[in-house]
Amino acid sequence: MNSSRMNMRVSAHAERYVARTGRHPYTDCWPWAEAALAWSRANEQRLGWSLRNACLNDGDIEHVPAAISETLRLSMVRHNRLPADLALETARSELGYWAEPWATNASCSEPGTPGWPEPTGPYADRWRAAFLSGDPGRTRRLASGAGHVLLGLLFHTSKAMDRGAALRYRQNTYDSSYMALADTAPIIGITMPVAVSDPLAYQGIDGLTAVPEAA
């Protein structure tokens, strides 16, 4: 999907999502972001790196949840998936595409413009604090931080979780054995039922209760 088409779809996607769920998609990404960051910071020694490896400034770290939420929100638009169904391999890099100067210049979008609209809902102030600082370098740094957190989570979950039945189903049904965000729920401590498009794609994962999205 080219940049201009992607930009036009961000607002439309949010409008449809709010009409269906009553919540902005960014709102539904936030619990995953907070839990992923908390897990990452609690396991820095075991993972062998910290957020400082992502070239973040001291003042950036408080905004990493906003950045993780945003990379998930924008990936939802590109792939038309629920938050929990997002493939981490691709979702982790989405904010980086938007934050790069060449991408911004090509699409004429900056955070807070119609092409890259701010979210609504309870975490909108956190988004504005992170992305409307007037510092494009911060957006790029936050994209790096979000990508580092999700990459560490991807690697750890792939080694720690038994997802055999789920992966076989995904391969047979979707011709892809992707790592979904929902797969990480038992690792990062999300215990509530997780809405997904196809619960069978999560069968056999201990600690995960996957339920179909409410109609």
Instruction: Give me the pLDDT at residue 110, please.
Output: 87
Q: Which two tokens stand for residue 165?
A: 């039945």
pLDDT tier for residue 9 given thresholds of 50, 70 and 90: confident
- The answer for residues whose C-beta is within 8 angstroms of residue 163's C-beta and 6 or more apart is 183, 204, 205
Query: Using CA atoms, how far apart are residues 5 and 178, in angstroms rounded to an integer?
Result: 25
Rounded Cα–Cα distance for residues 135 and 82 (Å): 30
Angle, helix 25-42 to helix 64-79, in steps of 10 degrees: 130
Q: Residue 8: its pLDDT value, please?
A: 65
In 78-202, beta strands by DSSP E: 194-196
pLDDT in tens, 54-63: 678 888 999 9
Indicate the residue type of 5: R
- The structure's pTM equals 0.92
Q: What are phi and psi of 17, to 5 degrees?
A: -65, -45
Tens digits of residue pLDDT in 127-151? 999 999 888 889 999 999 999 999 9
15 contact partners, CB below 8 Å, separation of at least 6: none
Residue-wise DSSP of 30-45:
HHHHHHHHHHHHHTHH
Q: How far apart are CA 102 and CA 96, in angstroms?
A: 11
Q: Which residue has the higher pLDDT, 160 or 206?
A: 206
Element (H, E) at 163: none
Indicate whether 6 pLDDT > 90: no
- State how far the Cα of 148 lies from the Cα of 62, in Å rounded to an integer: 15
Write the burial class of residue 209 (CB in 10 Å: 0-12 exposed, 13-18 middle, 19+ buried): middle
Cα→Cα distances 77→5, 118, 138, 139, 205, Å: 11, 14, 23, 19, 27
User: Position of tokens 């900056």?
Assistant: 110
